Structure 1
Amino acid sequence: MSESLSTLIERLSGPASQGRFGRLRRGIEKEGLRVDADGRIAQTPHPAELGSKLTHPHVTTDYSEALLEYITPVYSRPEDALAFLADLHRFSYRRLDNEFIWPASMPARLDGNESIPIADYGRSNVGRMKHVYRKGLDVRYGRIMQAIAGVHYNVSLPDDFWSLLKSLDGDEQASMQDFRSSRYFDLIRNFRRHSWLLLYLFGASPAVDRSFLPDGRVPEGLQPHGEQTLVSPYATSLRMSDLGYQNKVQEQLKICFNSLSNYVNTLRHAISTPWPDYGALGVKGDGEDDWRQLNANILQIENEYYSDIRPKRVARHDETPSQALEARGVEYIEVRCLDLDPFDPLGFDATRSRFVDTFLMWCLLSESPWITDEECEHLDDNRRLVVSRGRDPELRLDHHGRKRSIADWGHEIFAELREVATLLDRLEEGAPHAEALAELTPWLDDPSLTPSGRLLHRLETQGEEFVDAIMAMAREQAERLRNEPIGPARSALFDQLVDTSHQQQGDIEAAESESFADFLADYFERARESRALTPLRAAGGQS
């Protein structure tokens, strides 16, 4: 362990034992395709019995009408977030009739691009914008990769922790907002240096149904398994590989998260700069309301930028995500590289949560110099190697010019993580963070224990097709979740939110007066504005 990390942990341990700062806070966003009884993507609309996907705070859709997305509130205990997530599944299964929630990241059986229905959010301008944005993703990248699902894990640290850390750092000149944002970017850079470890441990997508590749092309590295399945023998996460969320145009942005201003300005450039290939696709068709995409720029909106981690802040109604960051700093970070674990009914569990919390705190407390362009390329190479060959015993990653195995480097990281876990466990009853590390440590030496290893082992030993294996898990999980009770207060809340969300969508649509074209023009004009605080505004004066 570096001397600076060891010293900082020691200085934080006393205040932690004294209760001078609170626990990390986290919320979970979990996606899952609705499928029919044959394991095919559902063609039915989002069930009205689940509420309005435009306005419901906890049940919505991602790209597709069939891609459910569950959003928990923010909790200081992972078990509370997971309990809420479980209740969302139980609530849904009581209203899904003969449909199931697909528990894997790589999609169910598809029937070409058109078999993936684009989510429709109603007649309001904000609803139409969400729909047209998704149409733009279709014309740019196709719908098939948009049927992939995952877990997004949102984490923040409490205000009293930031005050203590700022004091320990001796940083008296920076404002608390700037200090917090700068340190969150420290965390993000270290996350990018070491996210390969999460991909190895939690990647769960080494196989895919042949319908995911409708042109019949089989990329290098994939091998036939049975009649309908393709597997990559050493892969951890095909979801995070070139088959998944990758975009060659976005690679030119070169975002390595060295500062908030660089991040914001790069995204603002991308949503304002036309891209010829997208222009050739056309923004509108012949009809007045026939929109193909929101615009022909590198990014239609900021959310189109794909990354395994993002700095975030809850935006107000008149802000883009970047403007919210610019105006009030980073509020939390969003981890986006986590596959669904098909063996778990929720796709995620408390052990993962405690480990990711420990990992993120380690990323924050460790030294984190800026990332050079050369280092950025090495990090991308390590990431690509792990997603495609992470369980290969011959694999070696680049670590400051040295070639190291995952086990060797991983054990070195785990040794430091144990010290961070001890710090976090001072805030807990028992030692849940240390126990999470102990449970996962054997995975470093035995890749068969990882979710990707377990799934591939099941396919190989039982001779199952990918869709058949995942569908069997979906049926088992559905039976369990349908029969588990929901507390009366939680059940009443969900019933109320169904009615309230439909009423809210109706109110928004009834109040609409502006044309969609004018709405978009106004949105993108405001999106180009800087919301950075000037010295006068920061001091509370008139801008």
Structure 2
Amino acid sequence: MFSEIGQLIFDNEAVAKTSDFTMGLEIEMQRVDENGNFSQEPYPAAAGNEQTNPWITNDFLETMSEVVTPPAAHALDAMHYLFSINNALRSALSPGELLWPLSMPPRLPKDKSAIPLAKMGPEKEAYLKEWVKRHGFSAGTPCGAHINLSIDPHVFELVLDQMGDQFKSKVELQNYLYAKVAQGFLRYRWVITYLFGASPIAEANYFKSGEGPKKPIRSIRQSSHGFGNPFTGDYTNVQRYVDRIEKGVADGKLISDYEFHGAVRFKGNSHLKELPKTGINYLELRMLDLDPSSSVGIRTNTLRFIRLLASYFIMSPALNPDEVQKVIARSDKMNEAVSEEHPNDVSKYQANARAFLQSLEMYANRIQLGPEYQEELQDLQDRVENPLTTPSAKLLTHIKDGSLTDYALNRAKRYQQSALQSIRPFKGFENHAKLSANDLKHELFKGSWEPDKDKDQA
């Protein structure tokens, strides 16, 4: 079950460190009015300056609000931050404004120019205009939940201490382990799409007439109908990842390296070319639809599952470098097939998903994870056996006249009312150009809650 590194970690009773990932969250949601139309209100002033506030900002559209949490040591800590900042955003909204809880946007106006692109400075605005020219307006509007994961430093220290002869430096080890984890997530992305896909239909005017799926599917956003550029990355190692993106820019397939929005991104240096030398600091996972059953778009149990997957990938044998591209290409095809299945149908890869979750359960048992992980795995195994229990299938029961607008608005209003009843909503963003993570923690919680010591991610 374990690789050489995994066995070393296991033998030194350091397995817990492989699940102690520092985790940061980025959750996008569209601002809408009470009728389910894109909001015409300006960026909420009480949320601070959209160009300088790192915790509440915009992405693609002025109406696409993005809540960003500081890195936290545990899933619950990350969720504490997320709920508090999400509440701060909600309390800053204009009367009648709501946050749309679905990944796919509300109905689009026929005149797309009525919705302004994000005002994030001349350089970013020029990039967005070029992006729309290349890909169309609709493709930039889906929202998602992004997870930033960084490996506990103790893992690097242990491996370097015991296997230093196999790695020239800590940076080389970092790049190796992060690439290995990224390959694992890409290899089993289709499982995540099946278990958490929640974008079965698109609202009016998203697709041009005659385009798009003819029936509900598991996840429009995770399919080829969803967000962005079809450009594929090379995850064999960090240098090939960088070379592939730079070639895409040189060939005109990418506007800039920023445009690469693969399901996983290597993060660590703002200058992509320097990444192999300075090292990956964390992974950005971009493969989750918003969970509309949560006011903040994601659940704690989902974060625990992602942590479990990352730990499993660290401990398991790596792919042969010569096989990486082929395996990921096959997995991309599996993801496309799963994403386009009808949500009520048993997946054609049910047996594969069952076997993978059983392997995860054996791993969780062997490393003696707590009951919360066992319960989550049992719930996910139920989803594999009964597709009607998946998020996308549950959404089908709320479709009226080909739309989820009524469901989304009911949820949005309930979540907004709950947030406005908060005992002490945070009002501090409008008075601060840029709060540090420590200042934010102090201002948000005033000593009522103390997360584990924050760790830097970038």
TM-score, normalising length: structure 2: 0.87
| Structure 1 residue 46 displacement after superposition | 1.0
Aligned: 1:144 with 2:138: yes
Give, as a single letter, the amino acid of the residue that structure 2 aligns with 1:134: L
Aligned to 2:115: 116
Aligned: 1:75 with 2:72: yes
CA contact (8 A) 1:9 1:419 kept: no
Tell me: CA distance 1:386–1:165, structure 2 relative to 1, closer, same or farther (3 Å).
Answer: farther
Aligned to 1:474: 412
Cα distance in 1 for partners of 2:26, 2:39 equals: 21
> What pairs with 1:398-477 in structure 2 (closer than 5 Å)?
405-406=349-350, 408-422=351-365, 430-459=370-399, 465-477=403-415
Aligned: 1:237 with 2:219: yes
CA contact (8 A) 1:62 1:69 kept: yes
| Structure 1 residue 188 displacement after superposition | 1.4
CA contact (8 A) 2:175 2:276 kept: no
Aligned: 1:305 with 2:263: no
Aligned to 1:105: 103
Cα distance in 2 for partners of 1:193, 1:361 equals: 15
Tell me: CA distance 1:10–1:298, structure 2 relative to 1, closer, same or farther (3 Å).
Answer: closer
Give, as a single letter, the amino acid of the residue that structure 2 aligns with 1:197: V
SS in 1 for 2:336: helix
| Structure 1 residue 193 displacement after superposition | 1.4
Aligned to 1:206: 200
CA contact (8 A) 2:234 2:240 kept: no
> What pairs with 1:510-525 in structure 2 (closer than 5 Å)?
none
SS in 2 for 1:129: helix
Cα distance in 1 for partners of 2:67, 2:56 equals: 5
Aligned to 1:269: 247
Cα distance in 2 for partners of 1:54, 1:70 equals: 13
Aligned to 2:209: 216
Tell me: CA distance 1:423–1:117, structure 2 relative to 1, closer, same or farther (3 Å).
Answer: farther
SS in 2 for 1:454: helix
Give, as a single letter, the amino acid of the residue that structure 2 aligns with 1:141: H
List per-residue Cα deviations over 1:441-468 (Å, max 9, x = no partner): 2111011111101101232xx7673112
| Structure 1 residue 372 displacement after superposition | 5.3
List per-residue Cα deviations over 1:308-360 (Å, max 9, x = no partner): 111111x4xxx42x135233111111110100011111110110000011112
SS in 1 for 2:233: coil
Aligned to 1:499: 431
SS in 2 for 1:67: strand
Aligned: 1:342 with 2:292: yes
Cα distance in 2 for partners of 1:376, 1:471 equals: 38
Bigger relative contact order (CA 8 A; separation at least 6): 2
| Structure 1 residue 51 displacement after superposition | 0.6
Cα distance in 2 for partners of 1:390, 1:10 equals: 41
Aligned to 1:369: 320
Of the three residues 375, 385, 391, the one matched with 2:337 is: 385
Aligned: 1:330 with 2:280: yes
| Structure 1 residue 212 displacement after superposition | 1.0
Cα distance in 2 for partners of 1:503, 1:392 equals: 45
Aligned to 2:454: none
Identify unmatched segments of 5+ residues in structure 2: 437-458
Tell me: CA distance 1:172–1:13, structure 2 relative to 1, closer, same or farther (3 Å).
Answer: closer
Cα distance in 1 for partners of 2:357, 2:15 equals: 26
SS in 2 for 1:66: strand
CA contact (8 A) 1:9 1:423 kept: no
- Number of matched residues? 432
Aligned to 1:354: 304
List per-residue Cα deviations over 1:374-417 (Å, max 9, x = no partner): 44432221011011016464643xxxxxxxx32x2122211221
SS in 2 for 1:65: strand
| Structure 1 residue 434 displacement after superposition | 2.6
Cα distance in 1 for partners of 2:16, 2:385 equals: 37
Cα distance in 1 for partners of 2:220, 2:26 equals: 20
TM-score, normalising length: structure 1: 0.74
SS in 2 for 1:330: coil
CA contact (8 A) 1:116 1:143 kept: no
Larger radius of gyration: 1
List per-residue Cα deviations over 1:80-123 (Å, max 9, x = no partner): 111111111211222212100000000012103223310112xx
SS in 2 for 1:138: helix
